[in-house]
Amino acid sequence: MLLYLRLLKESLSFALNALRNNKLRTFLSLLGVTVGIFSIIAILAAVDSLDRKIKEDMSSIDKNTMYLKRFSFGPSEIPRWKREQFPDVSYDEYQYIKDNVSSIQEAAFQIFTKSETARYEDKAASSVNVVPVSYEFAEIQSLKIEHGRFYNESESNSGTPVAVIGYEIAKTLFGDANPLEKKFRMYGQRFTVIGVLEKQGQGMFGENNDTAIIIPVNFLRNMYGDHNDFMTPIIIIKPKAGEDGEEVKAEVAQKLRNYRGIKAGETDNFIIDILSGFTDMIDQIIGTMNMIGIGISAFSLLVGGFGIANIMFVSVKERTNLIGIQKALGAKNRFILFQFLFEAVILSLFGGLIGILMVWGIAALLSSMIEFKFVLSFGIVCFGTAVAIFIGLVSGILPAIAASKLDPVEAIRSGM
């Protein structure tokens, strides 16, 4: 063990001497490893951060949550022209499903609509994301309310002009004052603030509850009716705990087919998306992104590996006389082999650590500049370090073998 520790110490010394004495050559040789490790770590960190953000945004929603609507969130086997002929889901269908599907815990009716401007005294919040929903929405989405409450069933059904507002809306309209029970104007009506959501930040899909105002869906229905170009309704369904998502989906589909009078053999004129299918698709995309990124970065590592091999062959050439003297004094072949192998690993590790530090610095800078947290996890750092060591081993094995097989007499003579 002491022998190998001494060997590691000497290899580190030789590696540092190579860095000091041949700065330009060493820099150019390590550049490939640095760029390669930087590319791999940067891609893995970016994709991992994206994955963490998506899962964080979806953590409050049950993966079995379903969305019943006339359009599709993702790719669909149904032709677009046919989907455009599907009817919108209705409020009556939402009530029918809620009352007749035994396997669901909650169902909510939501309308996607255009943004509005909210006003309070001389202050205005423009481009407000108005979210008209029924009262069950709070439980399905697990909304976190910092002050006040969400509206109840009675307020929801009657379309009472009450509102739960986002953090940024509260700051814009009311500043540091308590917004509860204050009234603001929107749609030409006065809304009473009954709740304020916790600060959340923008999600991965552009949604941002901080700039949202949630109101009873029946307020909008009472004002505009159910058939308007700027209103797109959906039904959100949360199955009971322990229920199989596909079975619940099949039951909902059959109930709606019966309600709409769709005959056997006819295709559905609605679409049900399960959140778990969407998250599985995201996992596949992230996995593919990781593989493509690693594949592209591998070319940089290949160049870096050739650079390390080149500097090690030159190092063997320069130290041929020293190798001969070491062998003449009794150094075994494996001692010489490990000496150069360790040196190659240390040089590669230097390049890898520089690449990792560059990623860490850029990630910290970007995280402070934009509303997105780049995470450089310990696992990714370990992976990058392991790759750097592997490149050093592969690149240094041939020069190390060549050095270990040198004849001591010829080696000493070549240096004379």
Burial of 187 from C-beta contacts in 10 A (0-12 / 13-18 / 19+):
middle
Q: What residue ranges do the domains of the chain occupy?
A: 2-57+281-414, 87-269
Confidence of residue 111 (pLDDT cuts 50, 70, 90): very high
List pLDDT tens digits, range 328-387.
Answer: 777 677 777 777 788 788 888 888 888 888 888 888 887 777 766 777 788 888 888 888
User: If you average pLDDT over residues 238-265, what whole number do you get?
Assistant: 86
Q: What is the pLDDT of residue 241?
A: 81
Alpha-carbon dihedral angle through residues 315, 317, 322, 327, given to the nearest 10 degrees: 110
Q: Has residue 57 got a pLDDT over 90?
A: no
Rounded CA gap, 416 and 331, in Å?
20
Residue 207: C-alpha distances to residues 215, 234, 377 (Å): 16, 16, 26
For residue 181, give the nearest of 157, 156, 170 by alpha carbon. Answer: 170
User: If you average pLDDT over residues 395-409, what whole number do you get?
Assistant: 80
Rounded CA gap, 44 and 38, in Å?
10
List pLDDT tens digits, range 4-22.
Answer: 677 667 666 766 666 666 6
Rounded CA gap, 169 and 197, in Å?
10
Q: What is the pLDDT of residue 183?
A: 93
In the chain, the percentage of residues whose pLDDT exceeds 70 is 84
Q: What is the pLDDT of residue 76?
A: 64
Q: Has residue 276 got a pLDDT over 70?
A: no
User: If you average pLDDT over residues 192-207, what whole number do you get?
Assistant: 75
Q: Has residue 221 got a pLDDT over 50?
A: yes
User: Are 159 and 221 a contacting pair, CB within 8 Å?
Assistant: yes
For residue 343, give the nearest of 392, 381, 384 by alpha carbon. Answer: 392
Identity of residue 280 = D
Question: Hey, what are 415's tokens?
Answer: 């240096």
Task: Pick the range with the lowest mean pLDDT from 204-208, 272-276, 383-387.
Answer: 204-208
List pLDDT tens digits, range 152-194.
Answer: 999 999 999 999 999 999 999 998 889 999 999 999 899 999 9
Task: Write down how long the chain is.
Answer: 416
For residue 14, give the nearest of 407, 366, 338 by alpha carbon. Answer: 338
Rounded CA gap, 324 and 168, in Å?
74
List pLDDT tens digits, range 299-317.
Answer: 767 777 777 787 778 777 7
Per the model's pLDDT, the better-predicted residue between 346 and 257 turns out to be 257
User: Are 53 and 373 a contacting pair, CB within 8 Å?
Assistant: yes
Q: What is the pLDDT of residue 204?
A: 47
List pLDDT tens digits, range 17-49.
Answer: 666 666 676 777 777 778 878 888 888 787 777
Q: What is the pLDDT of residue 11?
A: 62
Question: Hey, what are 245's tokens?
Answer: 């998502």
